Amino acid sequence: MRFLEWKSKGTGVLLMLTAVQAFDRSVFQQPMYANKSISNDSYRIRAQSPLPDATQLTQKEKQDFIKGAFMFAWEGYRAFSWGYDENRPVSNRPVNTRNGWGATIVDALDTLYLMGLTEQFNEAKDFVRTIDWKAVKPGNEEVQVFETVIRYVGGLISAYDLSGDSVFITKAVELVDLLMPAFDTPTGIPYQFVNFKTGKGVKSGFTDGASCLAELGTVQLEFTRLSQITDNWVYHRAGQRVYEAFENMRTSPHGLFTHLINPDTGKQLGNYITWGGMADSFYEYLIKQYVMSKGRDERMKDMSIAAIRSLEKHLLTSPKDHSERVLLSVLDNGVQVPVMDELACFAPGSLLLASKTIPGLKNIEDFAADLMDGCYIAWSSTRTGLAPETFGWEDSKDGHTVVGELTGRRKQLAEEAGVFPVTSSYILRPETLESLYYFYKYTGDKSYEIKAWNIFNALHVYSHSSSGFSGVQDIDSSYPTWDDRQESFFFAETFKYLYLFYDDDAAESVSFDQWVFNTEAHPFRIVDKEPPKPVEVPWFDEISDFFDKCLSFILGILFGWIGIIYKSIFG
């Protein structure tokens, strides 16, 4: 048996796994920092020794390393923060950020299942049975629809599709029914929040009442799959009504929408267009809704093609002196801005998926691959090997940047790699790994797997902390620090994509030809089940029109007599 060793130099924690089965939970029984103040020095990263190169390890050895890392973080959460949304992996403290329903547990369900961690999966399932969605604390009554759907509802549906246990669908239906008031708007475009005490939808104060593109367009996969499972098509229709509001909306460029929409009027707000934050998963779900429909949804096909062609024409760009590098700019008032979010690095994978599934898009594979390389260079060019939250480059036409004139390290990186950090933090995001996984599975090219291992190695060296993995501040600094955050998506997405590179059986069990992944990496089964068509009664419309005309005639006569009587009395 091979031993896997995880050692935290700062705390003396030693975790050894024999084939990842014999996990010693005792290392977490005594909190190192619990109930103590944390000094600034505690957030200074104590780097681990790098792991062997990908070429020096077998697939099984890499699989075991990743499962061991997952178990280290899971047991840290279990020891210090069970039932809370997140564990603070440096200070070993619980925190609620997603309404206190145990976001990490629900988000990790399918990852536990795919890793074959049966004991942990069953323990998580038992917790799910106890969740009371209405038990929100004072001041925490407003529930964000988007985050709740992709993490909680998505996690529950995926757990059901994988395990077949009805408890997950029961809890998903309970939660979605509480979210439905958000869709009670004049346009069908949802408000961003629902107040679980009043049962009413609430507009976002952060965006002055506007709904953000990503949030209003990232419920459809979940709602459609829930309708397929329950035969209650109310959920599907609510999601599709959003698309109806967009289908005939005039846009410039064609097929791309501003990042904010007025939910009451359906009008676009501002002139900021991006495939990054606040818009990203809207475009992802256009493609994936088409996949889920088994190629039947013509509206999704047309909207996907329009968005992708405009992306190709208006958003793709290359840095100055680096024409080999392809990146995804944003449009502000029609002008390209040379900046990109790591969030937008979902795009290469989704574009590749579109090229394989949507007729007429085969020719986008080359620029999708170039964009994949552009995303990866944002990681590999930094001192830590971790990506910045946002990165920029020198505009190919006039050399301008979003940070003004470049100096020092930014100038060096722009010259050498073509990109430089703008926001220099990394919060354990998975989007580049997601796209690498799509490219690896569709092409079989081992270079994508090696890049994924390099990212995992960087996580191991710089993010591994006291009881989990922490986000990193100053990713290009010689002295980076931890941010003491470990969001639930780290378990749902980052670990899942990493693991699927190295477990062929698990990957085959959720293959792209039979499953579609939501934006939180929760796989949903693709089934041949459409909503029932409305019953057509040929004579119904004629009778309805007849009665409408009769009613109008009668009301006309009635109001006419009222007018005559009024004039005769009051002159």
Residues 6+ apart with CB under 8 A from 86: 77, 94, 95, 96, 97, 103, 104, 485, 486, 487, 488
Feature table: binding site? 519
Position of tokens 């104590």?
A: 46
Give the dihedral sign, CA 340/192/153/214.
negative
Feature table: binding site for Ca(2+)? 519
Written as six digits, the tokens of 77 are: 């959460």
Strand ranges in 93-192 using DSSP code E only, listed in sequence order = 93-95, 142-144
439 three-state secondary structure: helix
Residue 431 annotated among the catalytic residues of the structure: yes
Residue 285 to residue 157: CA distance in whole angstroms: 17
Written as six digits, the tokens of 321 are: 């002196």
List own/partner pairs for 533-537 with CB under 8 A and 24 or more apart. none
Residue 389 annotated among the catalytic residues of the structure: yes
Q: Which of 422, 337, 417, 437 is nearest to 374 (CA)?
A: 417
Residues 6+ apart with CB under 8 A from 516: 221, 288, 291, 292, 523, 524, 526
DSSP letters for 353-411: HHHHHSTT-GGGHHHHHHHHHHHHHHHHTSSSSPPPSEEE---TTT---TTSS--HHHH
**R_g (Cα) of the chain, nearest Å:** 26
Residue 406 to residue 403: CA distance in whole angstroms: 7
Amino acid in position 424: S
The counts of H helices and E strands in the chain are 20, 23
Residue 147 annotated among the catalytic residues of the structure: yes
Q: List b or e across 378-404, with b for residues whose CB sees 16 or more CB atoms inside 10 angstroms.
A: bbebbebbbbbbbbbbbbbeeeebeee
Amino acid in position 526: I
86, 161, 280, 503: which is the annotated catalytic residue? 280
Residue 449 annotated among the catalytic residues of the structure: no
64 three-state secondary structure: helix
75, 431, 487, 520: which is the annotated catalytic residue? 431
Q: List b or e across 159-173, with b for residues whose CB sees 16 or more CB atoms inside 10 angstroms.
A: bbbbbeeeebbebbb
The residues that are catalytic are 147, 280, 389, 431
